[in-house]
Structure formats: C-alpha cells, structure tokens
Amino acid sequence: MAGLSIGAPTSAQGAEKHDWTHNLAQTDHTRLFRETDWTRNGLGPPREWDSTLQLFANLVHADSRAACLWWGPDYVAIYNEAFAPLCHGVHPALMGSTYAQGFPELWPHIRLLFEESTRTGLGQNVTSDAPLLVERNGWREEAFFSGSFLPIGPPHHPLGFYNSVYEVTDQKLADRRTSMLNKLAAVPDQKSDVVVDHLLTTLATNPYDVPLVMLYKFDATAESTTLRLQGQSGLPEGHKLLVDVANIDSDEGLIPELRRAESAPIFIDHDDRFEAVSWRGWGAPSRKIAILPIRSPNRIFGYLVVGLNPYRPFDDICRQFVHDLNRMVSTIVSSAITFELAETRREQLESDLAVSNLKLRHLVEHASVGMCHVSVEGEMLWANDQYFHLAGRTVEEHTANFSFYDAYLDEDLPKVRGVWNELLAGVEHTNTEFRMKRTYTSPTGEETPASIQVLAFPYRDPESGQVKSVMACTTDISRLKWAQTFHARSAAQAREAKEQQEAFIDVVSHEMRNPLSAIVHCADAIIAMADDESKYAEGSAQRLETLAEIVQNAKVVLQCSTHQRRILDDVLTLSKLKSMLLSIKPVAVEPLRMVSSIVGMFEAEISSNSIRCNVTPDPSLSDLAIDHVFLDTSRVTQIFINLLTNAIKFLKLSKEPSIAITLGASTSDPRSFFPKNMFWADGEPSSDVTNSSEWGSGEQVYLTFIVEDSGIGLSNDAIAKIFKRFSQAHVKTHVTYGGSGLGLYISKELAEKQGGEIGVTSVSGKGTKFGFYVKSRRREVQSAETETTIPINSDKDLKPVPQQMHLLLVEDNLINQKVLSKQLRRVGCIVDVANNGLEALNMLEENTFDAVLMDSEMPILDGLAATRLIRQKELEGDGLLGTAMAQGPRAGTRLPVIAVTANVRDEQIEAAMDAGADDVVQKPFKVDELIDRLHTLIVR
C-alpha cells in the first residue's frame, strides 16, 4: 500500500491536518457523510484517513453512478447519493455501517463474493434477478440493477471493494414480458378449451405485470351477443365483478366497459369496484386496468381484462406491452376459432361426403343405368346389378378377360372392338348404340335383339395421363329403337295416306269439275243460242214458248251445276280439314274492299231476287285506323260465300228481302262487337296462326263481320245444332232450300283455324244475324322495292283491248276443248287449240297470241312445265316468244297465261302461279268470268 499511501505531515510542531471533506459538494448527502460517527467501526475521523481511503471516498462521491465503498476488514459502507435509493430502506443508517449490519440477509452470499475476489484478486460482477422497489419521485417503483465489486489494494490483500451499480430495469422488464408473450405464442393445441387454459396459465407466470386477469368469450356463432367468463385470477369467489354469463348490452360487472372496448383497448382507473381483489405479484392494487378486445378484422370473439403493474409508470412502454399482449391474444383466439370452424366444416364435409357416398352407392345400385369399370386388360373390375341385367349375363360369366364381348350380337362385335381400341388410344369419350344377344319383346309381341346405348370414357393416371381403365354407362334403348322404327313406319304410312288423300281429292276434283265445266259451257251456249233465235224467230207463239222453255231448262241446269259445284267445294274443303291439308296463307288486303268484292260475286243473284244489300263499315275501323291487314282472303271469302248463300236461300219467301253486312275491328275483346245474346259455336282453340314470319310483326287485330238477313229466322233448337256437320235447321231444309249441311260447319272450322269464332242470334220469323271474327295483323309500312322479275301487265299506259282476242286454248279433254273454244269464238275471240304443252310451245313459235288458256293435267308435256318453258324463253329472248316480248306487239310485257284447271288445292294453285301463270281459273266456270279475267290481263 506504500504506493497508495499519503504520508502524514512532516511538521513536528503538530500542525493540524487539512479537512478534505470540506472540498466535497455541499449537499444533504455529504452533510450526512461528515456527520456520521466513523469511529464506531474503526475507521476514525475522515480527516485522519490515509490518502488511499480519502482518494476512493472522493471518487465515490464524484461518481455519477450509484457507488459504494466497502472498506476495511469489516466492509464499512461509504456511498454516494445515487446509491441511497437502492438501500432497501436502510438509508441513512447504512452510512458507516458494515455490510453485515446493513444487509444481514444478503451478507452470507456477499461474504462469499468478497472472499472469492480476495482469493483471485479479480473483480466480481453481480446481476440481480429479483426486482427492487425503489423510491422515486415520491412513490415506489420496481427496478433492476447490475453491479461490480472491484478489489482495492494489493492482490489477495485488498483494503476494500469499490461497488458500482447501474440500472437494467427496461431490459429486465422487456425480457420478462417477451418471455411471457413467447410462451403465449407456443399454443399446444388449437382446441378452444385448451387455448383458454393456456392463456390463463401463461398469464399467471407473470404476476408482477399481470396481477389481475378476466377472460370473456362470446358464444360460438358469429351473431351471438352472449358473453361467458372463461376464467380469471385475482378475484375471490362471489366478487361483484365476477359475471359468469351476460349479454353484451348488460350493465353487470365490467360489461359496460367491455362495450367501449369493442374496436381498441381502453384503460380505466382503479376504483371502488376493485375492492377486495386479491392482487397477485406485489399484492398491491393496480392503478390502471386494461380492457382488450379479442378480435379479427371482421369479428369480435371476446375480451381480456388485465390489471397493470402497480409499481411501473403508465408510459409508452406500458402501452406498447398492452398492445402486444392484445395482438398476441387476438391472434391465438382467432386462430383457434378459425381452426375450430375449419374442423367443424371438415367434419361436416366428411359427414356429408359419407352420406353422399352412401346415397351415391344406393343410387348406383338401384339406378336404371348400367355402370361398369373395366381394366385395360379387359378384366371386369366392378359393375352394378343393372349392368348385368342389361347385358343379359351373370356375374360369373364376366370373370374371364374381355368376356363382356360375349353379350353383344356377333354382327356388332367389330364395332364394339373398334370403340374399345379408340378408348385405349385416348379418345375423350364415345357414345354408341349396340345390339345385344338377349331379345326384346315389343308391345306388339314382336321379338328383336335388344339395343343399348353405351357412354364410355377412359380413366387416366392423374400424373402420367396414361389410360389405366375404362368406365361405361349403359342404357336400355330397346323400346326407343322399336318406337323409332314403329313411328317411322307409321309416318311413312301417314305420308302415303296423305298422298293417297291428296290424289283422291285431285281425282275427284278433276273428274267432277271437268264434266261440270262442259255442262256449264253447254248450258251457257244453249241460253245464248235460244236468246239469239228468239230475237230473229218468225213463226208461231208455240215456237217462242218452246224457246223460252229451253232457256228456262238451261238455267235450271246452270243452277244445278252451281249447286253441285258448291257441294263439291264443301266436300273437298271438309276433306282438307279432316286430312289437315288446309293451310292459312296471309296476304295484305283492305278489309272494306275485300268485303265489297265478295258481295260483288253475288251481284247477279242479289239483283235477280230483288234483295237490298248494304255494306256498312263500323266506326271501330276508323278509330283504330285500320288500313291494310294480313289475313287469308280465300278462307274469309269462303265463310262469306257460305253465309251469303244461306242468306239468299232463306230470303226467297221474304216480302222485303234485305241483307246488311257490318265489318269492324278490335284489338282485345272481339266478342264485345257482337250482340250479347249471340250463340257461339262450340270449338277447340287453335294455335296462333299469326305468329309465323309470313304474317309480319305488326300489331294483332281482330276483324269482325256480321251478316244479317230478314229471312225466316231460326228457332232455339235449330240454333243449337246449326254448326254441326251435316246438320241443318230442319230435317226438310234441304228439300225446301237445298244445301248439304256442311257450309256452316266448314265456316266454323275456317274461323277457328284463323284464331276466331262464329256465332248466330235469331228470332224465328224475324231474320237471322250471323257473326264471326278472325285474327289478323296490321301491315307494316314498307319501302318500295325494285322489281327484278319479268314485268307483268299493269294499268299503266294501257292500250285499248283488241276487237278480237287471239287465244291459244291448251286442253287435252276433247269435249271441254270443243265446247269452250266454241263459246269463246261465239263472243268474238279467235281461238287456236293445242292438245298438250308441247303442241302449245310449237304453236307459240309460229304465231303471236294475246293470251294462253293452259290446262294443268295433260299428256306429253303438262301445263306447269309448258308455262315454265314459256317464261324461260321470254327471259332469254329466245324465238318468237322472246321477240314478241322485247319489241313486238306486247311492248315489253310478257304473254298472259291463265291456268284453267280442275286442281283446286292451295298447293296446286300456288304451284301454277310459281310456274309463271298470271291467274288461275278453277273449273267449272262461266265464259263471262273468263273474259273478265282476260280483260284484266291483256294490254288495252
């Protein structure tokens, strides 16, 4: 110690030693240091201390760290002001006391430390794991310190130890709290109850930072508002804050505070509610309590209530710890609940899958479809019962490879093998029909090979894509194949029957109309000749009377012919209806003009019977602005002909015969146009004929018609049966008035086919009112289109009719040919005759004609083919026909061709027009009608 020793003063006169303690900073602590009795532990007054002790005493007081000098063999304490708070309440008594006196409980451990340092001559570091409560700013605070004991003096013989101390509280707290959070993260199991126990157990490991814990959780469903206490520590049983179950809207316990913490942690101060709490850790009450919401971004699971360390300040470090704890607990609980939901979902899916598999197996076993699974080697791996049933073979018969081939008909085996090879080659699927060896008995008792439809597809290895096996579904289509064959045969028979029906109609029409036509022409000729003869006859009155009787008889023939023609028309129309051969063909027409034209057909009969006839348009036509509409004029005309024929027939005995025709329109309720007591014929609604494209897309309109006569009227009994087939008002009606009993039945059918109805109202003796309506469509406004076909004769730039029309009559029936040519010549026409179409074409190359009257059915070349050749020559400018059209007498218009035919079906009339005919005249007809048609066609 000589090197550290400061010698005593050399003055022998006993000069006083200098008091070095006055050089210390003048503080309460240094005052305590100077006033301490240092003699009680053998150090003596500070002024007498040797230089070494003075030096280190000065160093202790100058040290900014907490420092203490333990001096002498008894380790007497000399410490600075920074060390005082660390003295565990023994300050200021510790100043000048030995270590054993100041810290008797620590002395056994520290004594060993001093001894070890003396032995080794090395300093000793000390870190305290136990927290210290340090008095700071008027309150106690948990703190952690580390220090070192450095020996002073010769090695192995120290004079004392220099003890410096520094604070490590932040690090210690961070380590303790991080350790707890890490333990929380190490969840042993994701089950909810395990997670709750883990949370409570882990929080219990840090009672200093978490002296109070309450864990609440909502019930499992996301919509639940019921909170349940999962566990707690620090609250004695029966405490008022312990609420086991409550709704989130409750005011019990801390529930109102929980509601406030729904989205983020909140902090509340200690108050009376926390009395009688058994605080863990320090045993002192927390000054702040944190309420943490346990939540995910879109759902809240519960709340965690924790008391905070009572001996740590509520600062940013504390807040960060709370937020870290909140995030950790939320993550753990959210993961657990998500896991449980996933587990529940998985269990449900497994359960559903098991049920689904059970249902699928049940379905497969009981399905009407055969199913099988075959290896690429041809081994039957699996098949349901229906497969074996459809194959007509047992399970045992399918044991050998490719034994499934044996079920198929030998003729189909190549196709079966071909499909199998395609599947092995990798085709995605095949759908093929095969015939089996087992037989199928049809409903008619016929036995045929059974047929199945096989949908097959390869099963591939998911990784390599190689075909591993083949799966197939088989369906019995035996009945379907039989039905297809049966229906095909039935359809062929129906087509044959229809063709036979059409042929029958054609034959009946041709064979009856041709003679009728000759009869009509002969009767016309007789009347004309008799009239001429009577004008120039000279002789007795008896001869004139004979001529008058001849005329009368000829008129009777004409009337009978007309009656016969109408009966024929009705029978043929009925045949068409029965055979579904009657079609509806719409054309654009003005309703009023159409009705006027129909009435004009009866002008002669109306005039000869002195009938007053009026056609009146209803205001509804103008109200609805009805102009042109699409409807089938021929069918409407047919109804009108029947109604007007009946009206004229029953007006014979009327004193003031009259017919009133009214036509109107309606867009919704057509029956409202007619009298309320109208009796409507029973019928079945037909499909809407106006839905096809040929009707256009104009508005649907109902056209309504009333035909009222002043005839004999009808009784109620007669009205009830008047629309039935072959029925008349009275059993003797046909005797008195004629008729077949078909007209009104046909009218009913025609009205229904056009989407309408027909009805009647009448009072016996006071006349009858028939009414009917049909569905039509407005004609859309269309722009004019340029005609590209051969120009047809029109009214533009018409020239006067030649005084003599030069006609070519093409007719193979010699009687009709002779009679008609004679009649035409009689009215001033020049007539050339051809027996068939070929003769006609030859004659057209030799002479120019004003028109051609062309029969349809002829040998060698029929009328349609001849007409087409005429039009072709005109188009190509070939021969005299082409020259006459281009620059001849017709001046750019084609040769008029009128088809004169006994074929009256719509298709036949349409075929004639398509072949190039300009008009069609049906046999029988009067020459006057034919001349009128010619006048409309021949250039005037």
Q: Mean pLDDT score of the chain, rounded to an integer?
A: 83
| pLDDT score at 432 | 92
pLDDT at residue 551 tops 80: no
CB 568 within 8 A of CB 736: no
What lies within 8 Å, CB to CB, of 903 at 6+ separation is 506, 509, 510, 856, 857, 909
What was the pLDDT predicted at 518? 66
Phi, psi angles (nearest 5°) of residue 69: -105, 120
CA dihedral 796, 797, 800, 806 (to 10 degrees): -80
Residue with the larger pLDDT of the pair 60 and 651: 60
**Per residue in 407-465, pLDDT tens?**
999 999 999 999 999 999 989 899 999 999 999 988 888 888 999 999 999 999 888 88
| DSSP 3-state of 441 | strand
Round to whole Å and give the CA distance between 678 and 688: 24
Q: Across-strand partners of 758?
A: 772
pLDDT band at 567 (very low <50, low <70, confident <90, very high): low
Task: Report whether pLDDT(503) > 80.
Answer: no
Interval 301-335: pLDDT, tens? 999 999 999 999 999 999 999 999 999 998 998 88
pLDDT at 513: 64
CB atoms within 10 A of CB 201: 13
pLDDT for position 646? 86
What secondary structure does DSSP assign to 646-714, as a single string? HHHHTTTT-SS-EEEEEEEEESS-GGGGS-TTPEEPP--PPP-GGGSGGG-SSPEEEEEEEEEE-SS--
> How deeply is 405 buried, as exposed, middle or buried, from its count of CB atoms within 10 A (0-12, 13-18, 19+)?
middle
Check: CB of residue 898 under 8 Å from CB of residue 921: yes
Decide: helix, strand or coil at residue 166: strand
Q: Is the pLDDT of residue 553 over 80?
A: no
Predicted local distance difference test score (pLDDT) of residue 146: 84
| Share of residues in the chain with pLDDT > 90 (%) | 38
Report the alpha-carbon distance of residue 722 to residue 742 in Å, rounded.
10
pLDDT tens, 249-307?
A: 999 999 999 999 988 999 999 999 999 899 999 999 999 999 999 998 888 899 999 99
CB-based contacts of 433-439 (< 8 A; 24+ apart in sequence): 433/477, 433/481, 434/408, 434/409, 435/408, 435/409, 435/411, 436/390, 436/391, 436/392, 436/407, 436/408, 436/409, 437/392, 437/406, 437/407, 437/408, 437/409, 438/391, 438/392, 438/407
796 vs 886, 922, 939, CA distance in Å? 17, 28, 10
Q: Is pLDDT at 891 greater than 70 in this prediction? A: no
Say how far apart CA 423 and CA 430 lie, in whole Å. Answer: 8
Predicted confidence (pLDDT) per residue in 856-868, tens digit: 888 889 999 999 9
Per-residue pLDDT averaged across 826-848, rounded? 90
Angle at alpha carbon of residue 256, lines to 254 and 257, rounded to 5°: 65
Calculate what percentage of the chain has a pLDDT beyond 70: 85
What local confidence, expressed as pLDDT, does residue 597 receive? 85
**If you average pLDDT over residues 743-750, what whole number do you get?**
86
The better pLDDT of the pair 873, 889 is held by: 873
CA proximity to 854, closest of 928, 940, 939, 923: 923
With bands split at pLDDT 50, 70 and 90, how would you rate the model's confidence at 565?
Answer: low
Who wins on pLDDT, 686 or 621? 621
User: Beta strand 612-617 with 587-589: parallel, antiparallel or unpaired?
Assistant: unpaired
pLDDT of residue 316: 92
Weakest-pLDDT range from 239-243, 487-491, 493-497, 698-702 = 493-497
Q: Is residue 178 pLDDT above 90, yes or no?
A: yes
852: pLDDT strictly greater than 60: yes
How confident is the model at residue 796, as a pLDDT? Answer: 34
At CA 464, angle to CA 461 and CA 470, rounded to 5? Answer: 30
Reduced to 3 states, what is the DSSP secondary structure of residue 481? helix
- Asked if pLDDT for residue 731 goes beyond 50, the answer is no
| Confidence (pLDDT) at 897 | 93
